[in-house]
Amino acid sequence: MKKQNKVKYFHIGIIILGIIFISIAAFHPDIWFDESYSVAIAKHKITDIWTITGNDVHPPVYYWMLHMVFLIFGNNVTIFRLFSVLAVAILGILGYTHVRKDFGEKTGLLFSFLAYFLPVMCTYSQEIRMYSWACLFTFVMAIYAYRFYQNIKNEKEENKLKNLSLFGLFSMLCCYTHYYALVTACVVNLMLLIYCIKKRKTNSKDLRNFLILAAIQVILYVPWLYYLWKQIRHVGGGFWIGLGISTLVEVPSFQFKRQLDTNFAFNWHTIVSLVVSLLVYIYVGYQIYKAKKAKESIWPGILAIIVYIAVIGIYLLPSFIQPVLFSRYLFVMTGIYIFALSFFMAKEKRRWVTLALCIVILALGTWSNITNVFINYDESNMKQIEYMKEKIQPDDIIIYSNIGNGGVIAAFFPENKQYFINGAHWDIEEAYKSYGPGMETIYNVEETIKDYHGRIWLVDSENMGLYNDFPKEGINILEGPQRFDTKYQDYIYNIMLLEKK
Protein backbone atom coordinates (compact mmCIF):
# COMPACT_ATOMS: atom_id res chain seq x y z
CA MET A 1 0.00 0.00 0.00
CA LYS A 2 1.31 3.41 -0.95
CA LYS A 3 2.30 5.78 1.84
CA GLN A 4 -0.17 8.37 0.54
CA ASN A 5 -3.04 5.90 0.80
CA LYS A 6 -1.96 4.89 4.31
CA VAL A 7 -2.16 8.53 5.42
CA LYS A 8 -5.65 8.88 3.88
CA TYR A 9 -6.92 5.75 5.62
CA PHE A 10 -5.35 6.89 8.87
CA HIS A 11 -7.07 10.24 8.45
CA ILE A 12 -10.43 8.55 7.87
CA GLY A 13 -9.78 6.41 10.95
CA ILE A 14 -9.17 9.53 13.04
CA ILE A 15 -12.48 10.96 11.81
CA ILE A 16 -14.41 7.80 12.71
CA LEU A 17 -12.79 7.54 16.15
CA GLY A 18 -13.24 11.27 16.71
CA ILE A 19 -16.97 11.19 15.96
CA ILE A 20 -17.35 8.29 18.39
CA PHE A 21 -15.29 10.20 20.97
CA ILE A 22 -17.44 13.36 20.88
CA SER A 23 -20.63 11.26 20.93
CA ILE A 24 -19.83 9.06 23.95
CA ALA A 25 -21.30 11.40 26.54
CA ALA A 26 -24.17 12.73 24.39
CA PHE A 27 -26.87 10.08 24.92
CA HIS A 28 -28.60 11.53 27.95
CA PRO A 29 -31.80 13.54 28.54
CA ASP A 30 -30.40 16.09 31.02
CA ILE A 31 -30.62 19.81 30.26
CA TRP A 32 -29.73 23.05 32.02
CA PHE A 33 -31.29 26.49 31.65
CA ASP A 34 -29.62 27.57 28.37
CA GLU A 35 -30.49 24.24 26.79
CA SER A 36 -34.05 24.41 28.15
CA TYR A 37 -34.46 27.68 26.22
CA SER A 38 -33.49 25.92 22.98
CA VAL A 39 -35.77 22.96 23.70
CA ALA A 40 -38.68 25.28 24.53
CA ILE A 41 -38.34 27.61 21.55
CA ALA A 42 -37.92 24.75 19.05
CA LYS A 43 -41.64 23.97 19.20
CA HIS A 44 -42.69 27.47 18.09
CA LYS A 45 -43.48 28.55 14.54
CA ILE A 46 -40.75 30.05 12.35
CA THR A 47 -42.27 33.55 12.53
CA ASP A 48 -42.69 33.36 16.30
CA ILE A 49 -39.09 32.23 16.73
CA TRP A 50 -37.96 35.38 14.90
CA THR A 51 -39.88 37.63 17.30
CA ILE A 52 -39.12 35.72 20.50
CA THR A 53 -35.38 35.34 20.00
CA GLY A 54 -35.22 38.92 18.76
CA ASN A 55 -35.87 39.85 22.36
CA ASP A 56 -33.25 37.44 23.67
CA VAL A 57 -29.48 37.48 23.07
CA HIS A 58 -29.06 35.33 19.94
CA PRO A 59 -30.25 35.49 16.31
CA PRO A 60 -32.74 32.91 14.96
CA VAL A 61 -31.00 30.59 12.44
CA TYR A 62 -30.05 27.87 14.92
CA TYR A 63 -33.52 27.89 16.45
CA TRP A 64 -35.04 27.56 12.98
CA MET A 65 -32.80 24.59 12.31
CA LEU A 66 -33.75 23.03 15.65
CA HIS A 67 -37.42 23.61 14.79
CA MET A 68 -36.90 21.49 11.66
CA VAL A 69 -35.41 18.76 13.82
CA PHE A 70 -38.42 19.07 16.16
CA LEU A 71 -40.85 18.67 13.25
CA ILE A 72 -39.10 15.48 12.11
CA PHE A 73 -38.21 13.80 15.42
CA GLY A 74 -40.50 15.45 17.96
CA ASN A 75 -39.45 16.83 21.34
CA ASN A 76 -36.46 14.53 21.81
CA VAL A 77 -33.64 15.98 23.93
CA THR A 78 -31.10 13.33 22.86
CA ILE A 79 -31.79 14.00 19.17
CA PHE A 80 -31.41 17.74 19.79
CA ARG A 81 -28.04 17.02 21.41
CA LEU A 82 -26.88 14.79 18.58
CA PHE A 83 -27.84 17.55 16.15
CA SER A 84 -25.17 19.70 17.83
CA VAL A 85 -22.70 16.82 17.65
CA LEU A 86 -23.39 16.62 13.90
CA ALA A 87 -21.93 20.10 13.34
CA VAL A 88 -18.60 19.18 14.97
CA ALA A 89 -18.58 15.86 13.11
CA ILE A 90 -18.81 17.84 9.85
CA LEU A 91 -16.13 20.26 11.07
CA GLY A 92 -13.68 17.39 11.53
CA ILE A 93 -14.57 15.94 8.13
CA LEU A 94 -13.65 19.29 6.55
CA GLY A 95 -10.09 18.50 7.61
CA TYR A 96 -10.17 15.71 5.03
CA THR A 97 -12.31 17.32 2.31
CA HIS A 98 -11.09 20.92 2.41
CA VAL A 99 -8.10 21.60 4.67
CA ARG A 100 -6.13 18.64 3.31
CA LYS A 101 -6.85 19.74 -0.25
CA ASP A 102 -5.84 23.36 0.33
CA PHE A 103 -3.00 23.01 2.84
CA GLY A 104 -1.66 19.48 2.66
CA GLU A 105 -2.24 16.12 4.33
CA LYS A 106 -0.48 16.88 7.59
CA THR A 107 -2.41 20.09 8.24
CA GLY A 108 -5.69 18.38 7.31
CA LEU A 109 -4.99 15.41 9.57
CA LEU A 110 -4.05 17.60 12.52
CA PHE A 111 -7.13 19.75 11.95
CA SER A 112 -9.43 16.71 12.13
CA PHE A 113 -7.63 15.44 15.23
CA LEU A 114 -7.96 18.75 17.06
CA ALA A 115 -11.59 19.20 15.95
CA TYR A 116 -12.51 16.04 17.85
CA PHE A 117 -9.99 15.67 20.66
CA LEU A 118 -9.35 19.23 21.84
CA PRO A 119 -10.86 19.17 25.37
CA VAL A 120 -13.50 21.84 24.83
CA MET A 121 -14.92 20.02 21.80
CA CYS A 122 -16.26 17.03 23.72
CA THR A 123 -18.36 19.38 25.88
CA TYR A 124 -19.51 22.13 23.56
CA SER A 125 -20.18 19.77 20.66
CA GLN A 126 -23.01 18.45 22.85
CA GLU A 127 -24.62 21.65 24.07
CA ILE A 128 -28.17 22.08 22.78
CA ARG A 129 -27.18 25.55 21.71
CA MET A 130 -25.98 27.31 18.58
CA TYR A 131 -22.26 27.16 19.43
CA SER A 132 -21.26 24.11 17.37
CA TRP A 133 -23.17 25.24 14.28
CA ALA A 134 -21.81 28.78 14.58
CA CYS A 135 -18.32 27.26 14.84
CA LEU A 136 -18.92 25.29 11.64
CA PHE A 137 -20.38 28.28 9.78
CA THR A 138 -17.49 30.61 10.68
CA PHE A 139 -14.90 28.09 9.55
CA VAL A 140 -16.65 27.32 6.24
CA MET A 141 -16.95 31.07 5.68
CA ALA A 142 -13.20 31.41 6.33
CA ILE A 143 -12.40 28.57 3.92
CA TYR A 144 -14.21 30.18 1.01
CA ALA A 145 -12.93 33.64 1.90
CA TYR A 146 -9.40 32.22 1.65
CA ARG A 147 -10.18 30.45 -1.63
CA PHE A 148 -11.53 33.68 -3.10
CA TYR A 149 -8.42 35.48 -1.83
CA GLN A 150 -6.29 32.84 -3.58
CA ASN A 151 -8.27 33.33 -6.80
CA ILE A 152 -7.42 37.02 -6.77
CA LYS A 153 -3.82 36.54 -5.70
CA ASN A 154 -3.06 33.90 -8.36
CA GLU A 155 -5.32 35.50 -11.00
CA LYS A 156 -7.30 32.28 -11.45
CA GLU A 157 -10.91 32.37 -12.58
CA GLU A 158 -11.70 28.73 -11.76
CA ASN A 159 -14.50 28.58 -9.13
CA LYS A 160 -13.97 32.26 -8.30
CA LEU A 161 -17.66 33.17 -8.40
CA LYS A 162 -18.55 29.95 -6.57
CA ASN A 163 -16.05 30.71 -3.80
CA LEU A 164 -17.31 34.27 -3.46
CA SER A 165 -20.96 33.13 -3.39
CA LEU A 166 -20.35 30.43 -0.78
CA PHE A 167 -18.38 32.90 1.30
CA GLY A 168 -21.37 35.27 1.18
CA LEU A 169 -23.85 32.52 2.07
CA PHE A 170 -21.93 31.34 5.13
CA SER A 171 -21.17 34.90 6.13
CA MET A 172 -24.91 35.53 6.36
CA LEU A 173 -25.43 32.27 8.27
CA CYS A 174 -22.83 33.51 10.74
CA CYS A 175 -24.61 36.84 11.11
CA TYR A 176 -27.93 35.18 11.85
CA THR A 177 -26.57 32.49 14.21
CA HIS A 178 -24.49 34.27 16.88
CA TYR A 179 -23.26 37.83 17.49
CA TYR A 180 -19.65 36.70 17.91
CA ALA A 181 -20.00 34.96 14.54
CA LEU A 182 -21.43 38.22 13.17
CA VAL A 183 -18.33 40.13 14.30
CA THR A 184 -16.11 37.37 12.87
CA ALA A 185 -17.91 37.71 9.53
CA CYS A 186 -17.48 41.49 9.64
CA VAL A 187 -13.73 41.14 10.27
CA VAL A 188 -13.30 38.67 7.38
CA ASN A 189 -15.43 40.82 5.05
CA LEU A 190 -13.33 43.87 5.93
CA MET A 191 -10.08 42.00 5.29
CA LEU A 192 -11.34 40.82 1.90
CA LEU A 193 -12.53 44.33 1.03
CA ILE A 194 -9.10 45.78 1.82
CA TYR A 195 -7.44 43.14 -0.34
CA CYS A 196 -9.86 43.71 -3.24
CA ILE A 197 -9.18 47.46 -3.08
CA LYS A 198 -5.46 46.76 -3.04
CA LYS A 199 -5.79 44.62 -6.18
CA ARG A 200 -8.33 46.83 -7.98
CA LYS A 201 -5.86 47.92 -10.65
CA THR A 202 -5.19 44.31 -11.63
CA ASN A 203 -8.83 43.29 -11.78
CA SER A 204 -11.53 45.82 -10.95
CA LYS A 205 -14.21 43.15 -11.56
CA ASP A 206 -13.32 41.41 -8.29
CA LEU A 207 -13.83 44.59 -6.31
CA ARG A 208 -17.14 45.22 -8.07
CA ASN A 209 -18.38 41.69 -7.39
CA PHE A 210 -17.32 41.87 -3.76
CA LEU A 211 -19.07 45.21 -3.27
CA ILE A 212 -22.24 43.74 -4.78
CA LEU A 213 -22.01 40.80 -2.39
CA ALA A 214 -21.38 43.14 0.54
CA ALA A 215 -24.44 45.20 -0.40
CA ILE A 216 -26.57 42.04 -0.60
CA GLN A 217 -25.36 40.99 2.85
CA VAL A 218 -26.23 44.38 4.33
CA ILE A 219 -29.69 44.34 2.71
CA LEU A 220 -30.35 40.81 4.00
CA TYR A 221 -29.34 41.85 7.51
CA VAL A 222 -31.47 45.01 7.59
CA PRO A 223 -34.57 43.16 8.94
CA TRP A 224 -32.57 42.17 12.02
CA LEU A 225 -31.03 45.59 12.73
CA TYR A 226 -33.92 46.60 14.98
CA TYR A 227 -33.26 43.61 17.26
CA LEU A 228 -29.50 44.14 17.11
CA TRP A 229 -29.99 47.72 18.29
CA LYS A 230 -32.26 46.54 21.10
CA GLN A 231 -29.57 44.10 22.19
CA ILE A 232 -26.87 46.80 22.11
CA ARG A 233 -29.09 49.03 24.26
CA HIS A 234 -29.71 46.11 26.61
CA VAL A 235 -25.97 45.61 27.03
CA GLY A 236 -25.42 49.34 27.45
CA GLY A 237 -27.98 49.43 30.24
CA GLY A 238 -26.27 46.66 32.20
CA PHE A 239 -25.66 43.02 31.35
CA TRP A 240 -25.10 39.75 33.19
CA ILE A 241 -21.59 39.17 31.78
CA GLY A 242 -18.76 40.17 34.11
CA LEU A 243 -15.08 40.84 33.55
CA GLY A 244 -12.86 39.26 36.15
CA ILE A 245 -10.04 36.83 36.79
CA SER A 246 -12.08 33.96 35.31
CA THR A 247 -12.33 35.83 31.98
CA LEU A 248 -8.61 36.59 31.91
CA VAL A 249 -7.79 32.93 32.58
CA GLU A 250 -10.39 31.33 30.33
CA VAL A 251 -10.01 33.49 27.21
CA PRO A 252 -6.53 32.10 26.43
CA SER A 253 -7.13 28.61 27.82
CA PHE A 254 -10.77 27.65 27.28
CA GLN A 255 -10.10 25.37 24.28
CA PHE A 256 -8.11 23.18 26.66
CA LYS A 257 -10.87 23.01 29.29
CA ARG A 258 -13.89 20.80 29.72
CA GLN A 259 -16.27 23.38 31.13
CA LEU A 260 -16.52 27.15 30.83
CA ASP A 261 -17.80 30.04 32.88
CA THR A 262 -19.58 28.10 35.61
CA ASN A 263 -18.19 27.39 39.06
CA PHE A 264 -14.81 28.85 38.11
CA ALA A 265 -12.03 27.84 40.48
CA PHE A 266 -8.28 27.45 40.37
CA ASN A 267 -8.51 23.67 40.50
CA TRP A 268 -6.16 21.21 38.83
CA HIS A 269 -8.13 21.25 35.61
CA THR A 270 -7.94 25.05 35.35
CA ILE A 271 -4.24 25.16 36.18
CA VAL A 272 -3.26 22.35 33.79
CA SER A 273 -5.39 23.86 30.99
CA LEU A 274 -3.82 27.29 31.44
CA VAL A 275 -0.26 25.94 31.57
CA VAL A 276 -0.74 23.73 28.51
CA SER A 277 -2.38 26.52 26.50
CA LEU A 278 0.43 28.98 27.30
CA LEU A 279 3.06 26.40 26.36
CA VAL A 280 1.22 25.77 23.08
CA TYR A 281 1.21 29.50 22.31
CA ILE A 282 4.93 29.70 23.01
CA TYR A 283 5.43 26.74 20.69
CA VAL A 284 3.34 28.36 17.93
CA GLY A 285 5.33 31.57 18.32
CA TYR A 286 8.54 29.58 17.98
CA GLN A 287 7.18 27.87 14.84
CA ILE A 288 6.33 31.27 13.35
CA TYR A 289 9.83 32.51 14.12
CA LYS A 290 11.43 29.44 12.52
CA ALA A 291 9.21 29.60 9.44
CA LYS A 292 9.93 33.30 8.90
CA LYS A 293 13.64 32.69 9.31
CA ALA A 294 13.45 29.90 6.73
CA LYS A 295 11.31 32.17 4.51
CA GLU A 296 8.47 29.66 4.46
CA SER A 297 4.92 30.64 3.61
CA ILE A 298 2.96 31.22 6.83
CA TRP A 299 0.34 33.72 5.64
CA PRO A 300 -2.71 31.39 5.97
CA GLY A 301 -1.94 30.70 9.63
CA ILE A 302 -1.22 34.38 10.32
CA LEU A 303 -4.53 35.41 8.74
CA ALA A 304 -6.39 32.97 11.02
CA ILE A 305 -4.60 34.40 14.07
CA ILE A 306 -5.40 37.97 12.97
CA VAL A 307 -9.12 37.16 12.68
CA TYR A 308 -9.19 35.43 16.06
CA ILE A 309 -7.33 38.16 17.93
CA ALA A 310 -9.26 40.93 16.15
CA VAL A 311 -12.61 39.56 17.36
CA ILE A 312 -11.29 39.24 20.93
CA GLY A 313 -10.00 42.83 20.72
CA ILE A 314 -13.34 44.14 19.43
CA TYR A 315 -15.13 42.63 22.42
CA LEU A 316 -12.38 43.42 24.92
CA LEU A 317 -12.27 47.20 24.37
CA PRO A 318 -15.87 47.98 25.43
CA SER A 319 -15.58 45.43 28.25
CA PHE A 320 -13.68 47.93 30.37
CA ILE A 321 -16.89 50.00 30.41
CA GLN A 322 -19.52 47.25 30.12
CA PRO A 323 -18.28 43.62 29.95
CA VAL A 324 -19.22 41.80 26.74
CA LEU A 325 -16.20 39.51 26.38
CA PHE A 326 -17.35 36.01 27.30
CA SER A 327 -15.01 33.05 26.81
CA ARG A 328 -17.79 30.58 26.00
CA TYR A 329 -18.87 32.68 23.04
CA LEU A 330 -15.36 32.45 21.55
CA PHE A 331 -16.19 28.82 20.82
CA VAL A 332 -17.80 30.01 17.59
CA MET A 333 -14.28 30.80 16.29
CA THR A 334 -12.72 27.53 17.44
CA GLY A 335 -12.60 26.16 13.88
CA ILE A 336 -10.40 29.11 12.90
CA TYR A 337 -8.36 28.64 16.08
CA ILE A 338 -7.88 24.93 15.34
CA PHE A 339 -6.78 25.71 11.81
CA ALA A 340 -4.08 28.13 13.01
CA LEU A 341 -2.83 25.56 15.51
CA SER A 342 -2.81 22.69 13.01
CA PHE A 343 -1.16 24.86 10.35
CA PHE A 344 1.82 25.68 12.54
CA MET A 345 2.02 22.21 14.08
CA ALA A 346 2.29 20.86 10.53
CA LYS A 347 5.46 22.93 10.07
CA GLU A 348 7.19 20.76 12.68
CA LYS A 349 9.82 18.52 11.09
CA ARG A 350 10.44 16.44 14.21
CA ARG A 351 7.81 13.71 14.36
CA TRP A 352 8.28 13.08 18.08
CA VAL A 353 7.40 16.71 18.91
CA THR A 354 4.14 16.50 16.94
CA LEU A 355 3.36 13.15 18.54
CA ALA A 356 4.06 14.52 22.03
CA LEU A 357 1.74 17.50 21.45
CA CYS A 358 -1.02 15.21 20.20
CA ILE A 359 -0.61 12.87 23.18
CA VAL A 360 -0.91 15.77 25.64
CA ILE A 361 -4.02 17.08 23.87
CA LEU A 362 -5.51 13.57 23.70
CA ALA A 363 -4.83 13.05 27.41
CA LEU A 364 -6.55 16.34 28.29
CA GLY A 365 -9.45 15.54 25.96
CA THR A 366 -9.86 12.07 27.45
CA TRP A 367 -9.76 13.52 30.97
CA SER A 368 -12.50 15.95 29.97
CA ASN A 369 -14.61 13.30 28.27
CA ILE A 370 -14.38 10.85 31.17
CA THR A 371 -15.52 13.66 33.46
CA ASN A 372 -18.43 14.34 31.09
CA VAL A 373 -19.44 10.68 31.07
CA PHE A 374 -19.56 10.47 34.87
CA ILE A 375 -21.50 13.76 35.14
CA ASN A 376 -23.90 13.31 32.22
CA TYR A 377 -24.88 9.74 33.08
CA ASP A 378 -25.11 10.22 36.83
CA GLU A 379 -28.36 8.76 38.14
CA SER A 380 -29.10 11.93 40.13
CA ASN A 381 -29.71 14.07 37.05
CA MET A 382 -33.29 13.06 36.26
CA LYS A 383 -34.56 12.18 39.75
CA GLN A 384 -36.46 15.46 40.12
CA ILE A 385 -38.19 14.95 36.76
CA GLU A 386 -39.05 11.34 37.57
CA TYR A 387 -40.39 12.39 40.97
CA MET A 388 -42.72 14.98 39.46
CA LYS A 389 -43.80 12.78 36.54
CA GLU A 390 -44.97 10.12 38.99
CA LYS A 391 -47.18 12.52 40.92
CA ILE A 392 -48.16 15.44 38.70
CA GLN A 393 -51.74 15.80 37.47
CA PRO A 394 -52.98 17.65 34.35
CA ASP A 395 -54.61 20.49 36.32
CA ASP A 396 -51.64 21.08 38.64
CA ILE A 397 -49.84 24.42 38.33
CA ILE A 398 -46.09 24.94 38.82
CA ILE A 399 -44.49 28.05 40.34
CA TYR A 400 -40.80 28.96 40.55
CA SER A 401 -38.70 32.06 41.12
CA ASN A 402 -35.37 30.67 39.89
CA ILE A 403 -35.50 30.51 36.09
CA GLY A 404 -32.41 28.28 36.07
CA ASN A 405 -34.06 25.13 37.37
CA GLY A 406 -37.50 26.53 36.52
CA GLY A 407 -36.64 26.58 32.82
CA VAL A 408 -35.72 22.91 32.99
CA ILE A 409 -39.08 22.10 34.57
CA ALA A 410 -40.83 24.20 31.92
CA ALA A 411 -39.16 22.21 29.14
CA PHE A 412 -40.17 18.85 30.63
CA PHE A 413 -43.73 19.77 31.65
CA PRO A 414 -45.01 22.08 28.89
CA GLU A 415 -48.62 20.88 29.30
CA ASN A 416 -48.96 22.17 32.86
CA LYS A 417 -49.64 25.85 33.54
CA GLN A 418 -46.55 27.47 35.06
CA TYR A 419 -45.59 30.82 36.55
CA PHE A 420 -42.15 32.35 36.80
CA ILE A 421 -41.99 34.96 39.56
CA ASN A 422 -39.80 37.72 38.12
CA GLY A 423 -38.84 39.22 41.46
CA ALA A 424 -35.86 41.13 40.04
CA HIS A 425 -38.10 42.71 37.35
CA TRP A 426 -35.80 41.66 34.51
CA ASP A 427 -36.84 42.80 31.05
CA ILE A 428 -37.39 39.24 29.83
CA GLU A 429 -41.14 38.81 29.30
CA GLU A 430 -40.91 38.77 25.51
CA ALA A 431 -37.82 36.53 25.44
CA TYR A 432 -39.37 34.04 27.87
CA LYS A 433 -42.36 33.56 25.60
CA SER A 434 -40.19 30.72 24.31
CA TYR A 435 -41.59 28.76 27.28
CA GLY A 436 -45.14 29.74 26.38
CA PRO A 437 -47.98 29.29 26.21
CA GLY A 438 -47.53 27.05 29.27
CA MET A 439 -45.30 29.42 31.22
CA GLU A 440 -46.25 32.96 32.18
CA THR A 441 -44.03 35.61 33.77
CA ILE A 442 -45.61 37.17 36.87
CA TYR A 443 -44.63 39.72 39.52
CA ASN A 444 -47.16 39.09 42.30
CA VAL A 445 -47.87 35.49 43.26
CA GLU A 446 -50.71 36.36 45.66
CA GLU A 447 -52.62 38.11 42.90
CA THR A 448 -51.95 35.25 40.50
CA ILE A 449 -53.31 32.45 42.72
CA LYS A 450 -56.06 34.52 44.38
CA ASP A 451 -58.88 32.74 42.55
CA TYR A 452 -57.08 29.44 42.03
CA HIS A 453 -58.06 26.31 43.92
CA GLY A 454 -56.11 23.11 43.49
CA ARG A 455 -52.65 21.64 43.65
CA ILE A 456 -49.52 23.79 43.35
CA TRP A 457 -45.96 22.60 42.77
CA LEU A 458 -43.28 24.89 44.13
CA VAL A 459 -39.89 24.39 42.51
CA ASP A 460 -37.29 26.16 44.58
CA SER A 461 -33.51 26.24 44.69
CA GLU A 462 -31.20 25.72 47.65
CA ASN A 463 -32.37 28.46 49.99
CA MET A 464 -36.15 27.72 49.92
CA GLY A 465 -36.79 31.46 49.59
CA LEU A 466 -39.83 30.88 47.40
CA TYR A 467 -41.73 28.90 50.03
CA ASN A 468 -40.67 31.24 52.84
CA ASP A 469 -42.25 34.18 50.99
CA PHE A 470 -45.24 32.21 49.69
CA PRO A 471 -48.71 33.09 51.04
CA LYS A 472 -49.73 30.46 53.62
CA GLU A 473 -53.43 31.17 54.09
CA GLY A 474 -55.58 28.27 52.91
CA ILE A 475 -52.46 26.32 51.87
CA ASN A 476 -51.79 22.73 52.91
CA ILE A 477 -48.50 20.90 52.34
CA LEU A 478 -49.16 17.59 50.60
CA GLU A 479 -45.52 16.58 50.08
CA GLY A 480 -42.03 17.90 50.55
CA PRO A 481 -39.84 19.72 50.57
CA GLN A 482 -37.96 17.07 48.61
CA ARG A 483 -34.38 18.03 47.74
CA PHE A 484 -32.58 16.88 44.57
CA ASP A 485 -28.89 17.61 43.93
CA THR A 486 -27.96 16.92 40.31
CA LYS A 487 -24.48 16.44 38.89
CA TYR A 488 -25.38 18.03 35.56
CA GLN A 489 -24.49 21.72 35.97
CA ASP A 490 -24.76 21.21 39.78
CA TYR A 491 -28.40 22.24 39.84
CA ILE A 492 -30.32 21.99 43.14
CA TYR A 493 -34.08 21.51 43.31
CA ASN A 494 -36.27 21.76 46.39
CA ILE A 495 -39.76 20.62 45.40
CA MET A 496 -42.96 20.94 47.39
CA LEU A 497 -46.51 19.94 46.52
CA LEU A 498 -49.17 22.21 48.04
CA GLU A 499 -52.92 22.40 47.85
CA LYS A 500 -54.99 25.58 47.96
CA LYS A 501 -58.55 25.06 49.10
Whether the ω angle into residue 394 lies within 30 degrees of 0, i.e. cis, is: no
CA distance 111 to 339: 6
pLDDT at 374: 95
Report the alpha-carbon angle 442-237-249, nearest 5: 105
pLDDT at 232: 77
For the stretch 127-141, what's the b/e string if a residue is b when 16 or more beta carbons lie within 10 angstroms of its beta carbon?
A: bbbbbbbbbbbbbbb
CA distance 178 to 129: 10
CA distance 180 to 466: 36
pLDDT at 142: 98
Contacts of 265 (CB under 8 A, 6+ apart): none
Average pLDDT across the chain, whole number: 92
For the stretch 386-418, what's the b/e string if a residue is b when 16 or more beta carbons lie within 10 angstroms of its beta carbon?
A: ebbeeebeeebbbbbbbbbbbbbbbbbbbebbb
Longest Cα pair distance anywhere in the chain, in angstroms?
84
Q: How far, in whole angstroms, is CA 329 from its chain's centroid?
A: 6
Question: How big is the chain by its Cα radius of gyration, in Å?
Answer: 25
pLDDT at 239: 52
Contact yes or no for 499/476 (Cβ under 8 A)? yes
- 396-437 pLDDT, tens per residue? 999 999 999 999 999 999 999 999 999 888 888 999 999 989
Which of the residues in the chain have pLDDT under 70?
1, 3, 234-244, 260-266, 320
- Which of 142, 210, 203 is CA-nearest to residue 173? 142
- 36-89 pLDDT, tens per residue? 999 999 999 999 999 999 988 899 999 999 999 999 999 999 999 999 999 999
Q: What are phi and psi of 459, to 5 degrees?
A: -110, 110
Please provide the distance, in angstroms rounded to a whole number, between the alpha carbons at the two ends of the chain. Answer: 80
